């Protein structure tokens, strides 16, 4: 055991080669925090008896109550192996899917990770997710198979069965790693191929035909987990033991005389030992021999457990003496067998020894950062490393070198901000009192006592002494604060109050290069900062003096106020931090929102944004119980937004403050934080706001009773009501095929719009490429403004053409002919999953090329008004007609756009203007008005406001870009789109979760019952090999998911627990406006058809929430109920 001091840690931080930054990743409840406890106890920070019970890294109260980790927290450990001294910065991360964003923040600042897998449950959904996150950040994993004791005690496996089971788990994990590796190699190969197509000189052999080219050549042996490679450890963290096969190879090589190298290769795998010949041979199953792993390792552990559980005193003593251990009398007499096992195993096979030795040997130090990872971190968005400025590319060397000299640039990445209690800061901590202070306090206490006695005897006036004593005792209450001078009793009070007023934030960060010193000035680079933009704004470039720089967007300057060593629940002050270390930085809350890059050079690019696995989807509206406390709530929500990497805070158009979180547990934690830490007020929370999308479908072929539509007799009365519902106001023509023609209120322009459903694949492509669409939009706007567009990079251009190709591939057939070339805009917000297609003959405009410059005057006139059309489309897609929710998967086609009347109008206006000018010259102003009046009579006075505006501007040839007419165009386009939707079959789309449930066979029925009650749909069910566990994969609407996890746990007595992850949007098949129209439907559903219509229920709920009109009958026949007794 190593008892470490702060000075020792500071010393260790300087040796970068011996630093290991690692995080512990696993599925929920696989034993990460218990494992962390065991490693911490090896440093004497907590008692080894409490390891696993204390859960030291779970410092929040709700973490202790729920028994799950909710945030990633770091601690620095010291490990000595022979002469070498290592510093291990261990980060414990959550396993619950709601907090997977915390895993992303932890993974970014590590170089390696420990994947923990439960020996009984094996590979679970979240294990796959964390392995993928580690892979994406290119950090090296090692494996810990935990809870081996459950195989002995719960499943009662024999050593041979346990060995087969462990082999299975290893195969599953390696299969996962293999998939990740294969996809990476094939991606790289695809990139190389595209390059070779661009440069036809490079030779292409038969590569195209052989899909696995590149896989054979690439060495992947180092990726896989195998005990003989030394990157797997078998543990039972709760019992405090763990081993890698190296430990046993050493013992047995001494005992049997077989070389250690041979044993290392054969202890895992199908080998057995021939004791007579002292040879290791391949297993021959027929002879019933046991593999080495079973015979030499597992059987010993099994016999130890067997002896302790059966309380076989003699055997225990024999084992203890043969292993040469010393067991305390207290443990030996203890009635709980777990205590005895812990006492014996933690000495025989100490878990911290096994795990930390593997970490130090197998995981890289900060110096071993790969060039590939550095380039990945420095290239955000669609940039390639080669396209960065040369000064930026030069920084790669600084990353790789990780140098601590003064000339090295300081580069720090802040992966998240977290709030701490003001009392936890080192400057506010209690400190031991000196002898003089103790004597002074003693004296003062005596004085006070004497005064009290005197007051009691003399019955002196009470008030002043009471007041005095109150003043005097207040410092005593403050004793733990450790104030320097206790003489003035008023001084210490403001300190804690300030702490209460503002929650101090600390940045969770890592130094990638250079030395971070207290008081050093650095640039804070936001995620959108670009070194290229800096070059454009600062003429001298990166060599400009850094003190008097002009303001550059997304760049601020800050000073490192406090540096802290993160020690789990404690913080220690530091003066400087060498490169490669994890640290906490105080005083950045005004500069950094969630994550940022700090650097001494403006040529450094911001690091690529963290990739989060979970999408925030659960929304609630919050408001204070007392409206006067609104400012506290707003401030509290700002702090919460800063403290949580995944939460989103919105203020809706209705003025509601909305909190968007990743799931129910996450939501609960955010609300608790708001109430108790950040806002400190009572808040009321709405029901969860469930997001929906609106869409249209192709007309159905069969009706609700599966009869072919159009074959049956319509029931007239009911059919009539259906027609009434869909009635469209006058003045709007509806043609066949759902073409809507509308005219603007001033009758100057006519629009014809049709709505069509997009194929599912296209909607998916649009969703995936929303960032690309956004960058296309920016390019076009900069083209229109006449900026130089050399910013378009080769890679972005390639991506745009690839995206266009995908759309063309899926939009085939007669009705989609040329559609892709005619796409005018995407919506809502110019990057959504709906498209506007322009098929009007007069004006060609495409999102791919910008407006065509054929007829310049025409085009410019149409372009200004075209923006109004696009704005109308954006508004229509932002809130659909059913319940004002955004649209999805709809294509609006502008078939015709008639501006001929508007052109006549502008021409006559121009003529009129010229006439009036002539009149002005001849007769003065009096007659000008009459001339204009005459002309207006001819026109019918229909365009008075427009004409006035045109004559005021004196430029009637130009279109009315921002006048009343453009507003009318926007409104008309929006209405036309809405009506075009209403003539098609409308449907709601619900957000869906994928739901993974692990359950034993006896509770399967109950799980299915809960799923079907909540509209869930089971996709597959498979049995986990070697266990009686079933894995059920299902989809479940987000709307039905609230309380789902709790209900499943209650119904199955805690034997099944679900993992919910947002997956996709799915159309709800039922029509929300459906009423029975045919004889069969009438017979089947009755006149009212009041059976539950899911889509209608959702639609009405949303409309009610938004205050829109809901068509529902409260009571139809309100008559008294007559019973026989009343009827007499």
The pLDDT of residue 389: 80
The pLDDT of residue 304: 93
The pLDDT of residue 422: 85
Using CB atoms within 10 Å of the CB of residue 191, give its burial: 0 to 12 exposed, 13 to 18 middle, 19+ buried. exposed
The pLDDT of residue 334: 86
pLDDT grade for 544, boundaries at 50, 70 and 90: low
DSSP 350: B
Separation between Cα atoms, residue 343 and residue 360, nearest integer Å: 26
**DSSP secondary structure string for all residues of 668-707:** HHHHHHIIIIIS-S-EEEPSPB--EEEEE-PPPSB-TTSP
Whose CA is closest to 536, among 385, 379, 389?
Answer: 389
Per-residue pLDDT at 805 exceeds 50: yes
pLDDT grade for 848, boundaries at 50, 70 and 90: confident
pLDDT grade for 793, boundaries at 50, 70 and 90: low
pTM of the model: 0.82
The pLDDT of residue 988: 93
Per-residue pLDDT at 216 exceeds 70: no
Q: Check whether the bond before 1107 is cis (ω within 30° of 0).
A: no
Give tens-digit pLDDT for 737-777. Answer: 788 888 888 888 888 899 999 999 999 999 888 888 888 88
The pLDDT of residue 925: 43
Q: Check whether the bond before 883 is cis (ω within 30° of 0).
A: no
Q: Is the torsion defined by CA of 828, 831, 835, 840 positive or negative?
A: positive
Q: Is the torsion defined by CA of 493, 498, 500, 501 positive or negative?
A: positive
Give tens-digit pLDDT for 490-538. Answer: 333 333 333 345 679 999 999 999 999 999 999 999 888 888 878 777 7
Per-residue pLDDT at 1073 exceeds 80: yes
Beta-ladder partners of 559: 521
The pLDDT of residue 553: 81
pLDDT grade for 806, boundaries at 50, 70 and 90: confident
Per-residue pLDDT at 393 exceeds 90: no
Neighbour count for residue 549 (Cβ, 10 Å): 16
Separation between Cα atoms, residue 51 and residue 343, nearest integer Å: 12
DSSP 18: G
Per-residue pLDDT at 68 exceeds 70: yes
Q: Which residue is it, tokens 């987000």?
A: 1038
Do residues 402 and 579 lie in contact, with contact meaning Cβ atoms separated by under 8 Å?
yes
Do residues 604 and 594 lie in contact, with contact meaning Cβ atoms separated by under 8 Å?
no
Cα–Cα separations (whole angstroms), residue 20 to 59, 139, 243, 999: 23, 12, 20, 38
User: DSSP H helical segments within 740-785, as ranges?
Assistant: 760-768, 770-784
Do residues 684 and 625 lie in contact, with contact meaning Cβ atoms separated by under 8 Å?
yes
Beta-ladder partners of 624: 683
Do residues 610 and 415 lie in contact, with contact meaning Cβ atoms separated by under 8 Å?
yes
Neighbour count for residue 351 (Cβ, 10 Å): 29
pLDDT grade for 711, boundaries at 50, 70 and 90: low
CA angle 224, 227, 230 (to 5 degrees): 85
3-state DSSP of 571-586: EEEECEECCCCEEEEE
Separation between Cα atoms, residue 227 and residue 291, nearest integer Å: 14
Q: Is the torsion defined by CA of 1041, 1045, 1047, 1048 positive or negative?
A: positive
Per-residue pLDDT at 789 exceeds 70: no
Separation between Cα atoms, residue 142 and residue 144, nearest integer Å: 7
Whose CA is closest to 325, among 317, 334, 336?
Answer: 317
Per-residue pLDDT at 954 exceeds 50: no
Instruction: Tell how strand 850-851 and strand 657-661 pair up.
Output: unpaired
CA angle 660, 666, 667 (to 5 degrees): 50
Average pLDDT, the chain: 81
Separation between Cα atoms, residue 387 and residue 225, nearest integer Å: 37
Cα–Cα separations (whole angstroms), residue 1054 to 138, 336, 879, 1051: 36, 25, 42, 8
- Contacts (Cβ under 8 Å, ≥6 apart) of 367: 16, 17, 402, 580
Q: Over range 421-434, report the average pLDDT.
A: 82
The pLDDT of residue 282: 77
Whose CA is closest to 815, among 740, 870, 766, 755?
Answer: 755
Percent of the chain with pLDDT over 90: 37
Per-residue pLDDT at 554 exceeds 50: yes
Separation between Cα atoms, residue 937 and residue 939, nearest integer Å: 5
Q: Over range 625-644, report the average pLDDT.
A: 93
């Amino acid at each position: 055991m190593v008892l470490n001091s702060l000075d020792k840690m500071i010393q260790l931080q300087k040796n970068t080669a011996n630093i290991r930054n690692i995080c512990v990743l696993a599925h929920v409840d696989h034993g990460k925090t218990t494992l962390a406890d065991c490693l911490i106890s090896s440093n004497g920070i907590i008692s080894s008896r409490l390891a696993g019970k204390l859960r030291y890294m779970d410092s929040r109260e709700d973490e202790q109550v729920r028994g799950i980790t909710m945030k990633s927290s770091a601690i620095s450990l010291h490990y000595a192996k022979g002469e070498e001294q290592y510093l291990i910065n261990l980060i414990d991360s959550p396993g619950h899917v709601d907090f997977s964003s915390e895993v992303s923040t932890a993974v970014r600042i590590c170089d390696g990770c420990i994947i923990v897998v439960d020996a009984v449950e094996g590979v679970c959904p979240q294990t796959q997710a964390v392995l993928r996150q580690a892979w994406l950040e290119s950090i090296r994993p090692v494996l810990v198979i935990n809870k081996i004791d459950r195989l002995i005690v719960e499943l009662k496996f024999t050593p041979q069965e346990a060995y087969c089971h462990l082999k299975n788990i290893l195969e599953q994990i390696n299969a996962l790693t293999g998939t990740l590796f294969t996809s990476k190699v094939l991606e790289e190969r695809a990139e190389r191929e595209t390059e070779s197509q661009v440069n036809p000189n490079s030779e292409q052999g038969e590569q195209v035909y052989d899909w696995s080219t590149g896989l054979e050549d690439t060495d992947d042996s180092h990726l896989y987990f195998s005990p003989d490679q030394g990157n797997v450890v078998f543990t039972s963290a709760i019992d405090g033991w763990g081993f890698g096969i190296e430990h046993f190879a050493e013992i047995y090589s001494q005992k049997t005389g077989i070389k250690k190298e041979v044993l290392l290769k054969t202890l895992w795998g199908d080998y057995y030992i021939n004791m007579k010949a002292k040879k290791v041979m391949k297993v021959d199953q027929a002879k019933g021999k046991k593999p080495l792993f079973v015979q030499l390792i597992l059987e010993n552990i099994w016999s130890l457990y067997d002896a302790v559980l059966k309380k076989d005193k003699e055997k225990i003593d024999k084992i203890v003496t043969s292993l040469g251990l010393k067991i305390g009398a207290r443990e030996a007499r203890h009635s709980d067998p777990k205590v005895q096992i812990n006492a014996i195993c933690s000495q025989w096979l100490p878990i911290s020894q096994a795990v930390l030795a593997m970490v130090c040997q197998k995981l890289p130090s900060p110096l071993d950062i790969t060039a590939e990872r550095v380039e990945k971190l420095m290239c955000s968005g669609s940039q390639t490393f080669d396209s960065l400025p040369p000064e930026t590319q030069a920084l790669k060397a600084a990353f790789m070198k990780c140098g601590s000299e003064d000339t090295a640039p300081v580069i720090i990445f802040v992966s998240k901000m977290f709030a701490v209690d003001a009392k936890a800061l080192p400057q506010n901590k209690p400190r031991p009192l000196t002898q003089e202070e103790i004597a002074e306090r003693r004296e003062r206490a005596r004085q006070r006592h004497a005064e009290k006695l005197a007051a009691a005897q003399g019955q002196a006036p009470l008030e002043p002494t009471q007041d005095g004593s109150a003043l005097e005792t207040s410092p005593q209450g403050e004793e733990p604060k450790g104030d320097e001078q206790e003489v003035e009793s008023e001084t210490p009070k403001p300190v804690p109050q300030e702490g209460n007023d503002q929650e101090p934030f600390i940045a969770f960060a890592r130094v990638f290069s250079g030395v971070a010193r207290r008081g050093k000035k650095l640039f804070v680079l936001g995620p959108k900062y670009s070194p290229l933009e800096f070059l454009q704004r600062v003429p001298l470039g990166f060599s400009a003096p850094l003190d008097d720089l002009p303001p550059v967007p997304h760049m601020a300057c800050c000073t490192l106020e406090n540096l802290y060593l993160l020690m789990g629940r404690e913080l220690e002050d530091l003066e400087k931090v060498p490169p490669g270390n994890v640290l906490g930085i105080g005083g950045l809350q005004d500069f950094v929102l969630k994550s940022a890059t700090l650097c001494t050079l403006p040529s450094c690019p911001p690091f690529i944004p963290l990739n989060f696995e979970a999408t925030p989807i659960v929304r609630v509206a919050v408001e204070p119980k007392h409206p006067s406390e609104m400012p506290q709530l707003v401030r509290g929500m700002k702090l919460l937004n800063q403290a949580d990497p995944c939460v989103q805070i919105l203020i809706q158009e209705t003025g509601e403050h909305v909190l968007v979180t990743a799931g129910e547990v996450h939501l609960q934690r955010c609300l608790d934080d708001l109430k108790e830490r950040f806002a400190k007020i009572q808040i009321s929370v709405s029901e969860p706001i469930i997001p929906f999308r609106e869409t249209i479908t192709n007309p159905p072929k069969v009706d609700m009773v599966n009869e072919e539509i159009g074959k049956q007799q319509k029931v007239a009365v009911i059919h009539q009501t259906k027609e009434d519902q869909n009635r469209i106001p006058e003045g709007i023509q509806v043609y066949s095929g759902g073409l809507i023609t509308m005219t603007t209120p001033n009758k100057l322009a006519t629009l014809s719009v049709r709505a069509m459903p997009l194929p599912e694949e296209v909607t998916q492509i649009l969703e995936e490429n929303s960032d690309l669409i956004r960058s296309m939009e920016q390019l076009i706007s900069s083209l229109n403004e006449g900026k130089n567009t050399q910013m378009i990079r080769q890679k972005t251009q390639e991506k745009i053409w690839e995206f266009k190709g995908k759309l063309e591939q899926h939009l085939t057939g007669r009705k989609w002919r040329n559609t892709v070339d005619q796409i005018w805009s995407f919506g809502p917000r110019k990057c959504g999953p709906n498209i506007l297609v322009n098929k009007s003959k007069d004006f060609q405009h495409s999102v791919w090329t910008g407006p065509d410059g054929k007829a310049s005057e025409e085009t410019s006139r149409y372009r200004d008004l075209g923006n109004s059309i696009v704005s109308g489309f954006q508004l229509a897609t932002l809130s659909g007609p059913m319940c004002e929710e955004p649209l999805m998967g709809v294509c609006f086609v502008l078939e015709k756009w008639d501006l001929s009347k508007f052109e006549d109008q502008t021409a006559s206006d121009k003529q009129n203007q010229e006439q009036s000018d002539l009149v002005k010259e001849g007769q003065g102003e009096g007659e000008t008005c009459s001339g204009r009046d005459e002309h207006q009579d001819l026109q019918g006075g229909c365009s008075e406001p427009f004409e006035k505006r045109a004559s005021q501007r004196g430029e009637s040839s130009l279109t009315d870009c921002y006048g009343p007419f453009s507003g009318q165009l926007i409104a008309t386009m929006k209405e036309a789109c809405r009506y075009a939707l209403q003539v098609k079959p409308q449907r709601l789309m619900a957000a869906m979760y994928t739901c993974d449930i692990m359950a034993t066979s006896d509770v399967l029925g109950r799980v299915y019952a809960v799923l079907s009650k909540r509209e869930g749909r089971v996709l597959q069910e498979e049995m986990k090999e070697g266990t009686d566990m079933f894995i059920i994969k299902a989809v479940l609407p987000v709307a039905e998911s609230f309380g789902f996890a709790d209900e499943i746990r209650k119904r199955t007595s805690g034997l099944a627990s679900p993992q919910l992850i947002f997956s996709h949007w799915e159309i709800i098949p039922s029509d929300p406006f459906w009423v029975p129209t045919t004889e069969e439907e009438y017979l089947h559903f009755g006149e009212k058809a009041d059976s539950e219509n899911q889509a209608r229920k959702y639609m009405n709920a949303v409309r009610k929430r938004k205050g829109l009109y809901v068509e529902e009958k409260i009571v139809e026949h309100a008559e008294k109920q007559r019973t026989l007794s009343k009827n007499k």
